[in-house]
Amino acid sequence: MAAAAFHQAIGTLQSRGCVSNSSGLNRENGNASFRLISKGFKLDIALLRRETYCSRKRSFGIIQALASQTTIFDPISSPSDGTKSDTKKKSNEAALILIRHGESMWNEKNLFTGCVDVPLTKKGVEEAIEAGKRISNIPVDMIYTSALIRAQMTAMLAMTEHRRKKVPIIVHNESEQARAWSQIFSEETKKQCIPVVTAWQLNERMYGELQGLNKQETADRYGKEQVHEWRRSYDIPPPNGESLEMCAERAVAYFKEYIEPQLLSGKNVMIAAHGNSLRSIIMYLDKLTSQEVISLELSTGIPMLYIFKEGRFIRRGSPVAPNEAGVYAYTKRLAQYRQKLDEMLQS
Protein backbone atom coordinates (compact mmCIF):
# COMPACT_ATOMS: atom_id res chain seq x y z
CA MET A 1 0.00 0.00 0.00
CA ALA A 2 1.22 3.45 -0.87
CA ALA A 3 1.10 5.76 2.08
CA ALA A 4 2.96 7.76 4.65
CA ALA A 5 1.73 6.96 8.15
CA PHE A 6 -0.03 9.36 10.46
CA HIS A 7 2.59 10.37 13.01
CA GLN A 8 1.67 11.66 16.43
CA ALA A 9 4.05 13.81 18.38
CA ILE A 10 3.85 16.60 20.91
CA GLY A 11 5.97 19.65 20.35
CA THR A 12 7.75 18.77 17.12
CA LEU A 13 6.49 17.50 13.80
CA GLN A 14 9.20 16.02 11.59
CA SER A 15 8.08 16.11 7.97
CA ARG A 16 9.80 15.17 4.77
CA GLY A 17 9.15 16.36 1.28
CA CYS A 18 10.67 17.75 -1.89
CA VAL A 19 9.62 14.89 -4.14
CA SER A 20 8.96 15.09 -7.84
CA ASN A 21 8.47 12.45 -10.47
CA SER A 22 8.28 11.99 -14.20
CA SER A 23 4.69 10.77 -14.09
CA GLY A 24 3.54 14.35 -13.61
CA LEU A 25 1.61 13.53 -10.45
CA ASN A 26 3.48 14.74 -7.43
CA ARG A 27 2.93 14.28 -3.75
CA GLU A 28 5.32 14.59 -0.88
CA ASN A 29 5.97 11.43 1.13
CA GLY A 30 4.50 9.19 -1.51
CA ASN A 31 2.17 8.20 -4.29
CA ALA A 32 -0.08 5.47 -5.82
CA SER A 33 -1.87 5.39 -9.10
CA PHE A 34 -5.08 4.09 -10.55
CA ARG A 35 -7.23 4.73 -13.58
CA LEU A 36 -10.97 5.05 -13.92
CA ILE A 37 -12.31 4.27 -17.38
CA SER A 38 -16.05 4.43 -18.00
CA LYS A 39 -17.71 4.63 -21.42
CA GLY A 40 -14.87 6.50 -23.00
CA PHE A 41 -14.28 8.93 -20.15
CA LYS A 42 -10.95 8.39 -18.43
CA LEU A 43 -9.85 9.99 -15.21
CA ASP A 44 -6.34 9.29 -13.92
CA ILE A 45 -5.59 9.73 -10.26
CA ALA A 46 -2.11 9.08 -8.97
CA LEU A 47 -0.18 9.13 -5.75
CA LEU A 48 3.26 7.48 -6.24
CA ARG A 49 5.39 6.24 -3.39
CA ARG A 50 8.82 7.80 -3.79
CA GLU A 51 12.01 8.36 -1.85
CA THR A 52 12.19 11.73 -0.16
CA TYR A 53 15.19 13.90 -0.93
CA CYS A 54 15.13 16.55 1.74
CA SER A 55 13.65 17.11 5.13
CA ARG A 56 12.86 19.94 7.42
CA LYS A 57 11.79 20.17 11.04
CA ARG A 58 9.00 22.43 12.16
CA SER A 59 8.02 23.05 15.78
CA PHE A 60 4.45 23.31 16.99
CA GLY A 61 3.50 24.21 20.53
CA ILE A 62 -0.04 22.86 20.65
CA ILE A 63 -1.84 19.53 20.37
CA GLN A 64 -0.23 16.60 18.53
CA ALA A 65 0.94 16.38 14.94
CA LEU A 66 -0.62 14.15 12.35
CA ALA A 67 0.93 13.84 8.89
CA SER A 68 -1.33 12.01 6.47
CA GLN A 69 -1.48 10.32 3.11
CA THR A 70 -3.93 7.96 1.46
CA THR A 71 -4.01 4.18 1.51
CA ILE A 72 -7.28 3.44 -0.24
CA PHE A 73 -5.83 2.50 -3.61
CA ASP A 74 -3.31 -0.20 -4.44
CA PRO A 75 -0.08 1.16 -5.91
CA ILE A 76 0.93 0.82 -9.54
CA SER A 77 4.68 1.03 -9.79
CA SER A 78 6.17 3.86 -11.80
CA PRO A 79 9.68 3.74 -13.28
CA SER A 80 12.16 6.26 -11.95
CA ASP A 81 15.88 6.76 -12.16
CA GLY A 82 15.91 7.75 -8.48
CA THR A 83 17.43 11.16 -9.07
CA LYS A 84 16.33 14.59 -7.92
CA SER A 85 16.11 15.82 -11.51
CA ASP A 86 12.58 14.48 -12.12
CA THR A 87 10.49 17.46 -13.15
CA LYS A 88 7.00 18.41 -12.03
CA LYS A 89 4.48 18.27 -14.81
CA LYS A 90 1.80 20.86 -14.20
CA SER A 91 -1.65 20.51 -15.66
CA ASN A 92 -3.34 23.53 -17.16
CA GLU A 93 -5.70 24.07 -14.23
CA ALA A 94 -7.36 22.52 -11.21
CA ALA A 95 -10.30 23.43 -8.99
CA LEU A 96 -9.98 24.16 -5.26
CA ILE A 97 -13.20 24.24 -3.21
CA LEU A 98 -13.21 25.64 0.33
CA ILE A 99 -16.19 25.03 2.63
CA ARG A 100 -16.58 26.25 6.21
CA HIS A 101 -18.56 23.68 8.16
CA GLY A 102 -22.26 24.19 8.78
CA GLU A 103 -23.64 25.50 12.06
CA SER A 104 -22.47 23.43 15.04
CA MET A 105 -24.37 22.77 18.26
CA TRP A 106 -22.06 25.17 20.10
CA ASN A 107 -22.47 27.82 17.39
CA GLU A 108 -26.18 27.59 18.16
CA LYS A 109 -25.52 28.00 21.90
CA ASN A 110 -23.11 30.93 21.32
CA LEU A 111 -20.20 29.09 22.96
CA PHE A 112 -16.51 29.29 22.11
CA THR A 113 -15.83 25.98 20.37
CA GLY A 114 -12.25 25.97 19.09
CA CYS A 115 -10.87 22.43 19.05
CA VAL A 116 -13.72 20.88 21.06
CA ASP A 117 -15.26 18.19 18.83
CA VAL A 118 -18.90 19.25 18.46
CA PRO A 119 -21.37 17.99 15.78
CA LEU A 120 -23.63 19.94 13.46
CA THR A 121 -27.13 21.13 14.26
CA LYS A 122 -30.07 20.32 12.01
CA LYS A 123 -29.50 23.71 10.39
CA GLY A 124 -25.82 22.81 9.94
CA VAL A 125 -26.79 19.58 8.21
CA GLU A 126 -29.05 21.53 5.85
CA GLU A 127 -26.24 24.04 5.16
CA ALA A 128 -23.86 21.20 4.29
CA ILE A 129 -26.39 19.66 1.91
CA GLU A 130 -26.97 23.04 0.27
CA ALA A 131 -23.21 23.47 -0.13
CA GLY A 132 -23.12 20.09 -1.84
CA LYS A 133 -25.78 21.18 -4.31
CA ARG A 134 -23.75 24.26 -5.19
CA ILE A 135 -20.69 22.20 -6.07
CA SER A 136 -22.49 19.15 -7.47
CA ASN A 137 -21.17 19.70 -11.00
CA ILE A 138 -17.55 20.36 -10.05
CA PRO A 139 -15.30 17.28 -10.19
CA VAL A 140 -13.67 16.31 -6.90
CA ASP A 141 -10.64 13.99 -6.80
CA MET A 142 -9.44 14.49 -3.20
CA ILE A 143 -11.05 15.75 0.00
CA TYR A 144 -9.24 17.18 3.01
CA THR A 145 -10.96 17.91 6.31
CA SER A 146 -9.89 18.79 9.81
CA ALA A 147 -9.84 16.13 12.52
CA LEU A 148 -13.10 17.52 13.93
CA ILE A 149 -16.49 15.91 13.31
CA ARG A 150 -18.32 19.08 12.22
CA ALA A 151 -15.95 19.52 9.27
CA GLN A 152 -16.09 15.83 8.38
CA MET A 153 -19.90 15.79 8.54
CA THR A 154 -19.99 18.81 6.23
CA ALA A 155 -17.74 17.15 3.65
CA MET A 156 -19.65 13.87 3.72
CA LEU A 157 -23.09 15.47 3.53
CA ALA A 158 -21.98 17.76 0.72
CA MET A 159 -20.83 14.80 -1.35
CA THR A 160 -24.24 13.08 -1.08
CA GLU A 161 -25.43 15.74 -3.55
CA HIS A 162 -22.64 15.29 -6.09
CA ARG A 163 -23.73 14.21 -9.55
CA ARG A 164 -20.90 11.71 -9.94
CA LYS A 165 -22.13 9.80 -6.85
CA LYS A 166 -18.66 8.71 -5.79
CA VAL A 167 -18.38 7.67 -2.15
CA PRO A 168 -16.06 9.68 0.14
CA ILE A 169 -13.96 7.26 2.19
CA ILE A 170 -11.97 8.45 5.22
CA VAL A 171 -8.38 7.25 5.06
CA HIS A 172 -7.20 5.47 8.22
CA ASN A 173 -3.42 5.52 8.48
CA GLU A 174 -3.14 5.80 12.24
CA SER A 175 -1.83 2.25 12.65
CA GLU A 176 -0.96 -0.85 10.64
CA GLN A 177 -4.11 -2.51 11.92
CA ALA A 178 -6.26 0.46 10.90
CA ARG A 179 -4.76 0.38 7.42
CA ALA A 180 -5.29 -3.38 7.12
CA TRP A 181 -8.84 -3.33 8.43
CA SER A 182 -9.93 -0.47 6.16
CA GLN A 183 -8.68 -1.99 2.90
CA ILE A 184 -11.05 -2.21 -0.07
CA PHE A 185 -10.76 -5.47 -1.99
CA SER A 186 -13.00 -4.65 -4.96
CA GLU A 187 -11.23 -2.81 -7.80
CA GLU A 188 -14.57 -1.65 -9.15
CA THR A 189 -15.54 -0.22 -5.77
CA LYS A 190 -12.22 1.60 -5.48
CA LYS A 191 -12.96 3.38 -8.75
CA GLN A 192 -16.10 4.83 -7.20
CA CYS A 193 -14.38 6.21 -4.08
CA ILE A 194 -12.87 9.58 -3.20
CA PRO A 195 -10.12 9.53 -0.55
CA VAL A 196 -10.77 11.79 2.44
CA VAL A 197 -7.67 12.84 4.40
CA THR A 198 -8.17 14.25 7.90
CA ALA A 199 -5.54 16.49 9.47
CA TRP A 200 -5.40 18.31 12.81
CA GLN A 201 -3.47 21.11 11.09
CA LEU A 202 -6.78 22.15 9.47
CA ASN A 203 -8.54 22.32 12.86
CA GLU A 204 -10.17 25.46 14.14
CA ARG A 205 -8.02 27.85 16.15
CA MET A 206 -7.51 26.50 19.67
CA TYR A 207 -9.29 28.97 21.94
CA GLY A 208 -7.54 27.91 25.14
CA GLU A 209 -9.38 28.78 28.35
CA LEU A 210 -12.28 30.31 26.41
CA GLN A 211 -13.42 26.95 25.03
CA GLY A 212 -16.89 26.12 26.32
CA LEU A 213 -17.55 29.62 27.66
CA ASN A 214 -20.55 31.65 26.53
CA LYS A 215 -19.39 34.49 24.29
CA GLN A 216 -21.69 37.10 25.79
CA GLU A 217 -20.88 36.11 29.37
CA THR A 218 -17.17 36.21 28.54
CA ALA A 219 -17.56 39.72 27.13
CA ASP A 220 -19.41 40.81 30.30
CA ARG A 221 -16.63 39.32 32.45
CA TYR A 222 -13.52 40.49 30.60
CA GLY A 223 -14.94 43.43 28.66
CA LYS A 224 -15.98 43.63 25.03
CA GLU A 225 -12.69 45.18 23.91
CA GLN A 226 -10.59 42.41 25.44
CA VAL A 227 -12.74 39.63 23.95
CA HIS A 228 -12.76 41.40 20.57
CA GLU A 229 -8.96 41.55 20.71
CA TRP A 230 -8.75 37.81 21.41
CA ARG A 231 -11.18 36.99 18.63
CA ARG A 232 -10.16 39.42 15.91
CA SER A 233 -6.51 40.38 16.38
CA TYR A 234 -3.89 38.61 14.30
CA ASP A 235 -1.15 37.89 16.83
CA ILE A 236 -2.77 38.04 20.29
CA PRO A 237 -3.92 34.63 21.59
CA PRO A 238 -6.58 34.02 24.23
CA PRO A 239 -5.26 32.60 27.52
CA ASN A 240 -3.37 29.36 26.77
CA GLY A 241 -4.72 29.32 23.22
CA GLU A 242 -3.69 30.11 19.65
CA SER A 243 -3.63 33.43 17.86
CA LEU A 244 -4.72 33.58 14.23
CA GLU A 245 -1.04 33.89 13.35
CA MET A 246 -0.30 30.57 15.11
CA CYS A 247 -3.26 28.91 13.42
CA ALA A 248 -2.07 30.21 10.04
CA GLU A 249 1.42 28.82 10.61
CA ARG A 250 0.17 25.24 10.86
CA ALA A 251 -2.72 25.46 8.36
CA VAL A 252 -0.75 27.13 5.58
CA ALA A 253 2.28 24.88 6.14
CA TYR A 254 0.04 21.83 5.73
CA PHE A 255 -1.66 23.31 2.65
CA LYS A 256 1.67 24.03 0.95
CA GLU A 257 3.19 20.66 1.83
CA TYR A 258 0.29 18.30 1.13
CA ILE A 259 -2.56 19.99 -0.74
CA GLU A 260 -0.80 22.28 -3.19
CA PRO A 261 1.12 19.36 -4.78
CA GLN A 262 -2.25 17.71 -5.52
CA LEU A 263 -3.37 20.85 -7.34
CA LEU A 264 -0.06 21.03 -9.19
CA SER A 265 -0.68 17.50 -10.43
CA GLY A 266 -4.08 18.53 -11.81
CA LYS A 267 -6.32 17.08 -9.11
CA ASN A 268 -9.43 18.92 -8.02
CA VAL A 269 -9.48 19.29 -4.23
CA MET A 270 -12.17 20.11 -1.68
CA ILE A 271 -11.29 21.33 1.82
CA ALA A 272 -13.93 21.29 4.55
CA ALA A 273 -12.61 23.09 7.60
CA HIS A 274 -13.21 26.07 9.92
CA GLY A 275 -13.46 29.82 9.98
CA ASN A 276 -9.91 30.48 11.17
CA SER A 277 -8.06 27.68 9.39
CA LEU A 278 -9.78 28.61 6.11
CA ARG A 279 -9.21 32.32 6.77
CA SER A 280 -5.52 31.48 7.12
CA ILE A 281 -5.45 29.57 3.83
CA ILE A 282 -7.32 32.36 2.02
CA MET A 283 -4.76 34.81 3.39
CA TYR A 284 -2.11 32.76 1.57
CA LEU A 285 -4.16 32.30 -1.62
CA ASP A 286 -5.18 35.96 -1.95
CA LYS A 287 -1.95 37.38 -0.50
CA LEU A 288 -3.82 39.29 2.21
CA THR A 289 -2.07 41.32 4.88
CA SER A 290 -2.51 40.62 8.59
CA GLN A 291 -4.85 43.61 8.76
CA GLU A 292 -6.93 42.47 5.80
CA VAL A 293 -7.37 38.91 7.04
CA ILE A 294 -8.79 39.85 10.44
CA SER A 295 -11.76 41.52 8.75
CA LEU A 296 -12.42 38.52 6.49
CA GLU A 297 -15.73 36.81 7.35
CA LEU A 298 -16.70 33.36 6.05
CA SER A 299 -20.29 32.16 6.12
CA THR A 300 -21.05 28.64 7.31
CA GLY A 301 -21.86 26.18 4.54
CA ILE A 302 -21.06 28.51 1.63
CA PRO A 303 -18.43 27.03 -0.72
CA MET A 304 -15.76 29.16 -2.37
CA LEU A 305 -14.17 28.17 -5.66
CA TYR A 306 -10.60 28.89 -6.74
CA ILE A 307 -9.00 27.92 -10.04
CA PHE A 308 -5.34 26.98 -9.76
CA LYS A 309 -3.71 27.83 -13.09
CA GLU A 310 -0.07 28.38 -14.03
CA GLY A 311 0.93 28.53 -10.37
CA ARG A 312 -1.68 31.16 -9.50
CA PHE A 313 -4.89 30.95 -7.47
CA ILE A 314 -7.80 32.75 -9.11
CA ARG A 315 -10.80 33.35 -6.87
CA ARG A 316 -14.18 32.60 -8.49
CA GLY A 317 -16.45 33.15 -5.52
CA SER A 318 -19.26 30.78 -4.66
CA PRO A 319 -21.09 28.80 -7.35
CA VAL A 320 -24.27 30.81 -7.77
CA ALA A 321 -26.99 28.18 -7.35
CA PRO A 322 -27.49 24.41 -7.28
CA ASN A 323 -29.02 24.14 -10.75
CA GLU A 324 -27.04 26.77 -12.64
CA ALA A 325 -24.12 25.81 -14.87
CA GLY A 326 -22.55 29.26 -14.92
CA VAL A 327 -19.55 28.06 -12.94
CA TYR A 328 -18.35 26.21 -16.03
CA ALA A 329 -17.84 29.47 -17.88
CA TYR A 330 -14.86 29.96 -15.57
CA THR A 331 -12.79 27.21 -17.10
CA LYS A 332 -12.73 25.22 -20.30
CA ARG A 333 -11.56 22.11 -18.47
CA LEU A 334 -14.59 22.09 -16.18
CA ALA A 335 -16.86 22.62 -19.18
CA GLN A 336 -15.36 19.58 -20.89
CA TYR A 337 -15.78 17.55 -17.71
CA ARG A 338 -19.43 18.52 -17.45
CA GLN A 339 -20.08 17.51 -21.06
CA LYS A 340 -18.48 14.11 -20.47
CA LEU A 341 -20.38 13.66 -17.22
CA ASP A 342 -23.69 14.51 -18.91
CA GLU A 343 -22.98 11.96 -21.63
CA MET A 344 -22.18 9.27 -19.07
CA LEU A 345 -25.26 9.92 -16.97
CA GLN A 346 -27.59 10.02 -19.99
CA SER A 347 -26.31 6.84 -21.61
Tell whether residue 275 is among the known ligand binding residues: yes
DSSP string, 102-113: --BHHHHTTB--
What is d(CA 103, CA 54) in angstroms, rounded to the nearest whole number? 41
Tell whether residue 100 is among the known ligand binding residues: yes
Annotated active-site residue 7? The verdict is no
Torsion from C-alpha of 58, 61, 62, 65, nearest 10 degrees: 20
Tell whether residue 145 is among the known ligand binding residues: no
Q: What residue spans of the chain are helical by DSSP H?
A: 105-108, 122-134, 149-159, 176-181, 187-191, 215-222, 224-232, 244-254, 260-264, 275-285, 290-293, 332-346
Tell whether residue 58 is among the known ligand binding residues: no
Annotated active-site residue 204? The verdict is yes
Chain center to CA of 197: 8
Tell whether residue 107 is among the known ligand binding residues: yes
Tell whether residue 101 is among the known ligand binding residues: yes
Tell whether residue 215 is among the known ligand binding residues: yes
Tell whether residue 312 is among the known ligand binding residues: no
DSSP string, 119-131: -B-HHHHHHHHHH
Phi-psi region of 310 (alpha: psi -120 to 50; beta: other; left: phi over 0): left
Active-site pick, 28, 93, 127, 204:
204
| Residue 272 host element (H or E) | strand 269-273
Tell whether residue 206 is among the known ligand binding residues: yes
Tell whether residue 181 is among the known ligand binding residues: no
What is d(CA 177, CA 174) in angstroms, rounded to the nearest whole number? 8
Tell whether residue 204 is among the known ligand binding residues: yes
Active-site pick, 101, 162, 172, 274:
101
Tell whether residue 113 is among the known ligand binding residues: yes
Tell whether residue 126 is among the known ligand binding residues: no
Neighbouring C-beta atoms of residue 326, cutoff 10 Å: 9
Query: Which positions are annotated as active-site residues?
Result: 101, 204
Binding-site residue ranges for substrate: 100-107, 113-114, 150, 204-207, 215, 231-232, 275-276
Which parts are annotated binding residues?
100-107, 113-114, 150, 204-207, 215, 231-232, 275-276
